[in-house]
Amino acid sequence: MTSNPLYVALDTPDLERALMLARSLSAAVGGIKLGLEFLSAHGPDGLRRLIDEGLPVFADVKFHDIPNTVAGAARALSGLGVGIFNVHASGGVAMMRAAKEATLGTAVPAKVLAVTVLTSLGPQELARVGQGMKVEEQVVRLAALAQEAGLDGVVCSPREIAAVRNACGSNFLIVTPGIRPKGAELGDQVRVMTPGEAVQAGADILVIGRPLTAAKDPVAVARSLLLEIGVGSS
Ligand code: C5P
């Protein structure tokens, strides 16, 4: 692995704080992840402000709607200059394909990832919504559908990285949250891996929030994570 796989999750509704963190981490991370919290507060203007900082931006929007609507939203996001965004794989192959195809008409097509099974859903909750199979089986099934639809990869928990890599091959992006350096606070994350373990299992991009954003010296933490993975930061 040569490029920087760390994407910092800027989970804040505070635009100035997000800009400050992006600036201070710009030489130590490979990209920024913005989720619904930031995007609902600041919309396309806030997104543009972060994109203008120069790092690749992953918009964690998790679209799930009919193909025509998702295609329109995908075209708009890709047109703004977002580097990566995601859709729910459970929206179906036609929807995923429509999202990907919509990006192709924009200046720099965004990469499109599929969300497989939300990590907040355990086996019991999955069974209640009619998905009674094992979580890993469902994740691999949805990852295969995403690949069939022409998507660039998936977001999955550290626990499913190896199974997805095995099923989908090397030319498929695997992005994983739930990353914690050794000895770090888990917060509300349960199924975690260290950055080294996740890369070893086959992850391409590691989404890390609080271990960086809540640190006294986020740049120093990022550099120590890169050292653990064996990537030199620029
Ligand atoms: O602070 P922390 O490192 O836990 O942040 C992880 C980021 O990844 C957050 O933005 C969270 O919303 C996101 N995420 C996650 N688990 C998922 C999907 C996204 O933690 N299954």
User: CATH code at 130?
Assistant: 3.20.20.70
Q: Kindly list the protein residues whose Cβ atom lies closer than 6 A to any atom of ligand 1.
A: 9, 11, 35, 118-119, 177-178, 187, 189, 207-211
Residue 181 domain-assigned (yes or no): yes
* Residue 89 backbone phi and psi in degrees, to 5: -60, -30
- The tens digit of pLDDT for each residue in 9-26 reads 999 999 999 999 999 999
Residue 153 domain-assigned (yes or no): yes
Provide the whole-model pTM. 0.94
Number of domains in the chain: 1
Residue 1 domain-assigned (yes or no): no
Structure tokens at 201: 């299992």
**Nearest-angstrom CA–CA distance, 93 and 74:** 15
DSSP-derived secondary structure letter, 90: G
Which residue's CA is minimally distant from atom 8 of ligand 1?
Answer: 177
Which residue's CA is minimally distant from atom 11 of ligand 1?
Answer: 177
- The tens digit of pLDDT for each residue in 179-202 reads 998 888 888 877 789 999 999 999
Q: Are 70 and 92 in contact (CB under 8 A)?
A: no
Instruction: Provide the domain limits for residue 130.
Output: 6-229
Predicted local distance difference test score (pLDDT) of residue 232: 65
Predicted local distance difference test score (pLDDT) of residue 184: 82
pLDDT score of 151 more than 60: yes
The Cα angle at residue 142 between residues 162 and 105, in degrees rounded to 5: 105
Span from the CA of 105 to the centroid of ligand 1 (angstroms): 30
Q: Are 185 and 206 in contact (CB under 8 A)?
A: no
**Which helix (H) or strand (E) element contains residue 88?**
strand 84-88
Say whether 62 is catalytic.
yes
Span from the CA of 208 to the centroid of ligand 1 (angstroms): 7
